[in-house]
Amino acid sequence: MKKILTLITITALSAISLSAQDMESATTVYNEGATALNSGDKITALECFKEALSQAEMIGPEAEELAYNCRTYIPTLINAIGKELASENKLDSAIIVLNEAAAVAEEYGIEDVLVEAQALIPQLYMQQGNLYLNQKDFDKAFISYNEVVKINPNDAVAYLRIGQTARRTGDIETALTALNKAAELGQGNAANKEIAALYLSEANNRLKAKDYAAALDYAQKSQAVLSNPTAMQIAGTAALQTKNYSTAIENFEGFIAASPNARNIDQIRYQLATAYEATGDKTNACVNYKAILNNPQFAEYAKHKVNVELKCQ
């Protein structure tokens, strides 16, 4: 019986001795982390606190205070490292590290770090997208801006940028959806300019391809969003080609009213005269043919119309 009691006593004392040694080891590693932190070496400090936490969790309740301190420092340091990477424009790495900071802060219940990291991440995605946009890497910019709206679904500027990048990659449907969302969220002026420009670009492409019906449709859509002389010109030209003379006249007259000093004003008057003549409106046809009599490009044809065919007064 004495032997058994002696064995139990020895075992207990050994356990106490080992526990004390473990606590001493964890404390030593923790202090090494604190020293590294004081010297500005965040990476070494972080590794020390992680190791100290691992040891403290194995020790149990006796090391709870040490574990608590480690859980406070670890996400704070990860967050600080992420911010340093961001300040160095190492945005990909910064985003990865800040996501880790947010996850660890949430796990350890460090609310202030969680809030800060979660606020910084979409800002960095936006910054990243802007860099790609300036480099004309529209595919990567599109991805970055989409990450912003995944986090902040009411970010109007991000939707505007998604629309801009999608437009430049030819994804018209996605561009329109994003731009309309941007307008809905408060970026109406900027979004409408983009939408009008998108429709105008499509109208011009269709006109070059001699798809006059589509050119007219896109030009009118552009006009409906934002009045633009170029859209009027395209609409008028496409309408004239499809013999939709009333629409051609409306748009050419609108162009002249909006841009009376345009360099191509005589070309527009020539087309307008042609449209009026086709409808039998001799008076207005004569007015516009007379207006281009002094232009060498149209003079001979205009004189023939004024003096021979229409016999304008």
What was the pLDDT predicted at 59? Answer: 86
In tens digits, the chain (313 residues) has pLDDT values of 433 333 333 333 333 444 556 788 878 888 898 899 899 999 999 999 899 888 988 988 888 999 899 999 999 999 999 999 999 999 999 999 999 999 999 999 999 999 999 999 999 999 999 999 999 999 999 999 999 999 999 999 999 999 999 999 999 999 999 999 999 999 999 999 999 999 999 999 999 999 999 999 999 999 999 999 999 999 999 999 999 999 999 999 999 999 999 999 999 999 999 999 999 999 999 999 999 999 999 999 999 999 999 999 8
Task: Please give the domain boundaries of the chain with CATH numbers for all domains.
Answer: 23-121 (1.25.40)
Q: Confirm if 222 and 228 have CB atoms less than 8 A apart.
A: yes
State which H helix or E strand residue 86 sits in.
Answer: helix 64-87
Alpha carbon distance 124, 75 (integer Å) = 19
**Beta carbons within 8 Å of 16's beta carbon, 6+ residues apart:** none
What was the pLDDT predicted at 21? Answer: 64
The DSSP line for 273-310 is HHHHHHHT-HHHHHHHHHTTTT-TTTHHHHHHIIIIIS
What was the pLDDT predicted at 63? Answer: 81
What was the pLDDT predicted at 15? Answer: 39
What was the pLDDT predicted at 9? Answer: 33
pTM of the predicted model as reported, rounded to 2 decimal places: 0.81
What was the pLDDT predicted at 30? Answer: 84
Nearest to 270 by CA among 242, 246, 306: 306
Alpha carbon distance 149, 126 (integer Å) = 10
